[in-house]
Amino acid sequence: MSDKEKIISLLNELATPEKMGSFFIKNATSDFLLIRPSGNPLDAAGFEQMMTSGDVIQEKAEITKIHRFEFLSENIVMCIFTLGSKFSYKGKPNDDLPTVTSIFKKVDNIWKIHWMQRSTGDSDLSLWD
């Protein structure tokens, strides 16, 4: 499997509702941060806690489109994608389509996610064409 295929496989694992909560604990660098649309950061443990608190009920998630995939070096990749996500937060339904910027690092020959920043959930896919 090529490095690009390994990273895309990680993205597809992230987009699996059953695995999403623990994904970053297993697949992130020790200094990983997820920047939410509010601008507030979460580390891997904070994301897992949020996803397992019962406040978020994930129904569906999928990588809708990969817009950019670029090797910045042999060990660093930038990937920008749209994530389709249907969930409820504290009982309020959401059908989101955020754009996500992510940076992957190869650590001990294993690809890990190092950084992720998520836009609001109303991306316009036509702007990427």
Torsion of CA 52, 55, 56, 57, to 10 degrees: 90
Contact 45, 35 (CB under 8 A): no
Sequential DSSP letters for 22-83: HHHHHHEEEEEEEE-TTS-EE-HHHHHHHHHSSSEEEEEEEEEEEEEEEEEETTEEEEEEEE
Note the pTM of the prediction, 2 decimals: 0.89
Contact 82, 123 (CB under 8 A): yes
- pLDDT at residue 95, rounded to an integer: 86
Cα–Cα dist 78/76, whole Å = 7
Q: List the chain pLDDT tens, one digit each, 129 residues.
A: 999 999 999 999 999 888 888 899 999 999 999 999 999 999 999 989 988 887 878 888 899 999 999 999 999 999 999 999 888 888 888 888 899 999 999 999 999 999 999 998 888 888 887
The HSE-up count of residue 7 (CA atoms within 13 Å, CB side) is 26
